[in-house]
């Protein structure tokens, strides 16, 4: 991912390389040049200016082999030795084979030496010239007082001219500088004593090695302000074995000890590593410690980052370092973007601000330890395989923790707060979007496993919402689900999302609430446990309500299971209770039964309205109890019917019945669940009917709700019969009873019809 996908870099640039740029190339060059021209030439100029008076020479003569020393309070300031001194008639004095030793402050052990074959002093015009090569051997000001054996600066030049009136020393000749393993050049220089300003005119270079790394520096020109301790490079380029750094203008602010306190670069500032990583900005400021270690680096004015595997940008980049010069934090602010691409993914990060904590491994490579993005932060990752899978995480604040997997460095944990959002798309039509107040995502290492998600697990809290879409496949229709909860847990291996905290799920016209709800990514399946409550619209637009202890939804089929209480389903006119209720929302078929393997009977309870002829409302209700129920909705000319088996008992407004099975036919043609009212019930197998004052037995009974008629039949061997408490037993081929009166219609074996009337209350006469 975008954050931390490359080792040894902070914001795409090696901290070790940055340190070398700051402390090796530029500093050494400027200190060297400042030392030999700014210090040595100043001392040489002053000495040569005062030389005749100090020596008492005012003659037109020649002297061979002399030495002169100047001391103050017992401390030697300088020693001059010349093989020959000649004072000419034109007022000029020439010194041959001159060796000058300049001593630093008492106790400093610092010495500088200047050697030249010939110097000429024109006292009348106030001009000092070096007639040939001048060799300077100078102590490094930054090291001499602390370490007398420190590396020295050796400079060779020629054509040196000092004009006393202007206080300017100049040369238009090349300068050659050596400092340890570094070798530098410049062409032309001038130094103004009144301003302390040193100019290197052109072709400034430095080459060599430092800290076992090759160093190459070029600049079009350079200036050193000794009074302000400022050095300026123009069109500067520093190249080490690992990186390049350049800027239109580079300013170094030296401290009292001679070291660099601050470096400022302006105009097309850039840092580039050997492997193509580049940072650019209009401005750069680096703070340096007394130990010559960077403490703070700031790039501003619009920072751009690029490397072979990505890019980035921001208005400002700030990096903090510890006392050892190791990068500890890096901060990008202002419209931050980071992009990273690899063989397996394309990653994109956006935020207002990004703060990264850094650490060093055993090889001193800088690693990203963790990072915090704030202000509309979003991390978007897309796999490069087919189909391409995408994962996006966003929030007001995102915090990433890094981990290593082999040689790969990746985001292992991502937390978010404030309007968090997690989006996933498997590239095959399955999508899931969740929102919440807080978010925690554990991510898989790159290339780990072949799961449908790069997310190992995710947790979201506070006003959680989930929207999921699944395409049609494997015979299942496309589905779309919306859910709410207080808490959500996602398992990437199984693709299951567990919702708790008053969860509610709506999808395909169905809504379910429960204590716990689990959604399966990619299938639209769901499972609910604990206080399940559901409602959905059937095809007759009459809401169907359900309560249960446990429920599952797989495709169009929903199953509801009893707990301490039976599962219950009802509409505006019908009700049902059972241990298990199954409904197909596509066909509106319904099944109710006991749990698989259970010996329980009489566990399905069904309540339906009964039709009444010539009445707008039903004539009552029919209660049916059985072991299993199959409900088939109306289809075309076929009416809806409910088949009840496993020992049936029924209760109508006019009778109680028992049988082995029964089929209830419902009126109406609307294909809904439990739609319509009972038109007819056919009960078969050991039928028993009970009415006030009588009972009946037979093998088959047809109940017609419109006229409350019960037609009881049997077999030739076992004809139906009615036992009346007042009239005795009545038998026949067909016995018809009515719920509205006490009449019994009896049909015999032949064509003769028998009609018997029974007095209901004979004692009331």
Question: SS3 letters for 87-141?
Answer: ECCCCEEEEEEEEEEEECCCCCCCEEEEEEEEEEEECCCCEEEECCEEEEEEECC
726 and 758 Cβ atoms separated by less than 8 Å: yes
Report yes or no on 257 lying in a domain.
no
Report yes or no on 708 lying in a domain.
yes
- Whole-number Å distance between alpha carbons of 521 and 507: 14
Confidence of residue 750 (pLDDT cuts 50, 70, 90): very low
Residue 14: predicted pLDDT: 32
- Whole-number Å distance between alpha carbons of 703 and 684: 11
Report yes or no on 207 lying in a domain.
no
Stated pTM of the model: 0.71
Contacts of 225 (CB under 8 A, 6+ apart): 195, 196, 197, 198, 231, 232
pLDDT at 53 > cutoff 70: no
- Split into its structural domains, the chain has a count of 2
φ, ψ (nearest 5 deg) of residue 401:
-115, 130
Confidence of residue 230 (pLDDT cuts 50, 70, 90): confident
| Domain identity same for 498 and 608 | no
| Domain identity same for 346 and 492 | yes
* Residue whose pair of structure tokens reads 């399940």 in the numeric block: 532
281 and 264 Cβ atoms separated by less than 8 Å: no
Residue 137: predicted pLDDT: 79
- Whole-number Å distance between alpha carbons of 557 and 527: 12
Report yes or no on 157 lying in a domain.
no
Residue 104: predicted pLDDT: 67
Q: DSSP label at 388?
A: P
* Residue whose pair of structure tokens reads 């979007």 in the numeric block: 433
pLDDT in tens, 108-143: 676 777 788 888 877 678 777 888 898 877 665 444
Helix H or strand E segment including 54: helix 42-55
Q: Which of 517-526, 555-564, 756-765 has the lowest mean pLDDT?
A: 756-765
Helix, strand, or coil here: 44?
helix
| Domain identity same for 496 and 644 | no
Report yes or no on 247 lying in a domain.
no
Domain range for 445: 342-469+482-503
Cis before 263 (ω within 30): no
- Whole-number Å distance between alpha carbons of 358 and 567: 58
pLDDT at 1 > cutoff 50: no
| Domain identity same for 494 and 627 | no
More confident residue, 37 or 711: 711
Residue 645: predicted pLDDT: 96
Helix, strand, or coil here: 265?
strand
Helix H or strand E segment including 7: none
| Domain identity same for 490 and 624 | no
Instruction: Look at strands 455-470 and 431-443 and give their pairing.
Output: antiparallel
Report yes or no on 212 lying in a domain.
no
pLDDT at 42 > cutoff 70: no
pLDDT at 105 > cutoff 80: no
Confidence of residue 34 (pLDDT cuts 50, 70, 90): very low
Confidence of residue 33 (pLDDT cuts 50, 70, 90): very low
Average pLDDT, the chain: 80
More confident residue, 73 or 332: 332
pLDDT at 478 > cutoff 60: yes
Q: DSSP label at 13?
A: B
pLDDT in tens, 593-612: 999 888 888 899 999 998 76
More confident residue, 460 or 119: 460
Report yes or no on 680 lying in a domain.
yes
User: Quick one: average pLDDT of 8-28?
Assistant: 33
From residue 244, how far is each of 19, 505, 625 by CA, in Å?
Answer: 12, 58, 88
Report yes or no on 93 lying in a domain.
no
DSSP assignment of 310-327 equals: EEEEEEEEEEEE-TTS-E
| Domain identity same for 497 and 621 | no
**Two structure tokens written together for 533:** 């409550």
User: Quick one: average pLDDT of 15-38?
Assistant: 36
Contacts of 200 (CB under 8 A, 6+ apart): 33, 175, 186, 188, 189, 219, 221, 222, 223, 224
740: domain CATH number is 2.60.450.10
Of the candidates 71, 73, 155, the one whose C-alpha atom is nearest the C-alpha of residue 112 is: 155
More confident residue, 363 or 175: 175
* Residue whose pair of structure tokens reads 């006469």 in the numeric block: 765
pLDDT at 55 > cutoff 90: no
Q: DSSP label at 6?
A: S
pLDDT at 704 > cutoff 90: yes
Residue 608: predicted pLDDT: 92
pLDDT in tens, 348-400: 999 999 998 988 777 777 778 899 999 999 999 888 888 888 989 999 999 98
User: Quick one: average pLDDT of 445-467?
Assistant: 79
340 and 2 Cβ atoms separated by less than 8 Å: yes
- Whole-number Å distance between alpha carbons of 585 and 408: 49
pLDDT in tens, 574-599: 999 999 999 998 888 999 999 988 88
């Amino acid at each position: 991912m975008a954050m931390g996908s490359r080792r040894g870099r902070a914001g795409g640039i090696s901290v070790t390389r940055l340190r070398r740029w700051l402390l090796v190339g530029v500093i050494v060059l400027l200190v060297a040049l400042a030392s030999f021209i700014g210090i040595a030439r100043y001392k040489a100029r002053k000495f040569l200016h005062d030389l005749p008076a100090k020596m008492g020479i005012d003659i037109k003569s020649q002297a061979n082999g002399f030495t002169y020393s100047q001391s103050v309070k017992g401390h030697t300031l300088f020693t001059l030795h010349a093989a020959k001194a000649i004072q000419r008639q034109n007022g000029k004095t020439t010194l041959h084979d001159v060796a000058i030793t300049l001593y630093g402050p008492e106790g400093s052990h610092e010495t500088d030496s200047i050697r030249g074959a010939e110097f000429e002093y024109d006292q009348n015009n106030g001009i000092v010239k070096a007639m040939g090569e001048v060799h300077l051997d100078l102590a490094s000001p930054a090291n001499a007082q602390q370490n007398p054996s420190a590396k020295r600066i050796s400079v060779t030049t020629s054509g040196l001219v000092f004009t006393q009136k202007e206080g300017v020393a100049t040369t238009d000749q090349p300068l050659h500088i050596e400092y340890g393993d570094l070798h530098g050049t410049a062409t032309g220089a001038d130094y103004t004593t009144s301003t302390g300003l040193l100019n290197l005119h052109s072709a400034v270079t430095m080459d060599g090695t430092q800290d076992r790394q090759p160093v190459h520096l070029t600049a079009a020109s350079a200036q050193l302000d000794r009074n302000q301790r400022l050095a300026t490079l123009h069109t500067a380029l520093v190249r080490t074995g690992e990186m390049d750094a350049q800027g239109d203008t580079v300013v170094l602010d030296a401290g009292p000890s001679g070291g660099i306190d601050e470096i400022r670069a302006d105009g097309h500032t850039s840092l580039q590593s050997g492997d193509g990583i580049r940072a650019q900005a209009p401005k750069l400021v680096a703070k340096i410690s007394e130990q010559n270690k960077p403490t703070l680096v700031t790039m501003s004015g619009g920072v751009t980052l690029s490397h072979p595997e990505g890019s980035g940008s921001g208005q400002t980049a700030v990096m903090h370092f510890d006392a050892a010069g190791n990068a500890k934090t890096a901060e990008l602010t202002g419209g931050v973007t980071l992009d990273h691409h690899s063989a397996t993914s394309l990653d994109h990060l956006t935020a207002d601000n990004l703060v990264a904590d850094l650490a060093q491994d055993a090889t001193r490579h800088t690693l990203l330890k963790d990072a915090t993005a704030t202000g509309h932060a979003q991390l978007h990752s897309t796999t490069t395989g087919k189909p391409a899978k995408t994962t996006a995480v966003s929030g007001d604040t995102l915090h990433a923790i890094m981990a290593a997997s082999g040689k790969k460095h990746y985001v292992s944990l991502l937390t978010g707060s404030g309007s968090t959002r997690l989006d996933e798309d498997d590239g095959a039509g399955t999508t899931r979007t969740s929102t919440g107040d807080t978010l925690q995502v554990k991510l898989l290492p790159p290339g780990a496993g072949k799961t449908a998600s790069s997310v190992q697990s995710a947790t979201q809290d506070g006003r959680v919402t989930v929207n999921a879409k699944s395409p049609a496949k494997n015979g299942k229709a496309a589905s779309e689900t919306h859910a709410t909860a207080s808490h959500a847990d996602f398992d990437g291996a199984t693709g299951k999302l567990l919702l708790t905290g008053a969860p509610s799920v709506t999808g395909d016209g169905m809504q379910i609430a429960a204590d716990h709800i689990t959604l399966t990514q990619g299938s639209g399946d769901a499972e609910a446990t604990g206080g399940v409550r559901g409602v959905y619209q059937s095809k007759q637009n009459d809401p169907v309500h359900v309560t249960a202890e446990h429920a599952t939804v797989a495709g169009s089929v929903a199953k509801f299971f009893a707990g301490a209480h039976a599962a219950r389903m009802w509409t505006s006119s019908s009700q049902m209770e059972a241990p298990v209720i199954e409904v197909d929302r596509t066909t509106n078929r319904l099944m109710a039964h006991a749990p698989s393997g259970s010996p329980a009977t009489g566990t399905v309870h069904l309540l339906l309205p009964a039709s009444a002829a010539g009445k707008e409302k039903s004539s009552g209700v029919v209660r049916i109890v059985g072991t299993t129920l199959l409900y088939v909705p109306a289809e075309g000319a076929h009416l809806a019917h409910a088949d009840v088996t496993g020992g049936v008992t029924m209760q109508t407004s006019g009778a109680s019945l028992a049988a082995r099975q029964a089929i209830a036919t419902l009126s109406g043609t609307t294909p809904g669940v439990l739609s319509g009212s009972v038109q007819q019930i056919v009960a078969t197998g050991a039928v028993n009917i009970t009415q006030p004052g009588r009972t009946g037995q037979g093998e088959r009974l047809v109940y017609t709700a419109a006229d409350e008629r019960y037609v009881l039949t049997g077999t030739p061997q076992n004809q139906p019969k009615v036992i009346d408490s007042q009239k005795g037993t009545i038998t026949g081929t067909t016995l018809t009873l009515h719920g509205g009166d006490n009449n019994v219609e009896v049909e015999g074996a032949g064509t003769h019809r028998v009609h018997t009337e029974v007095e209901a209350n004979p004692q009331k006469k």
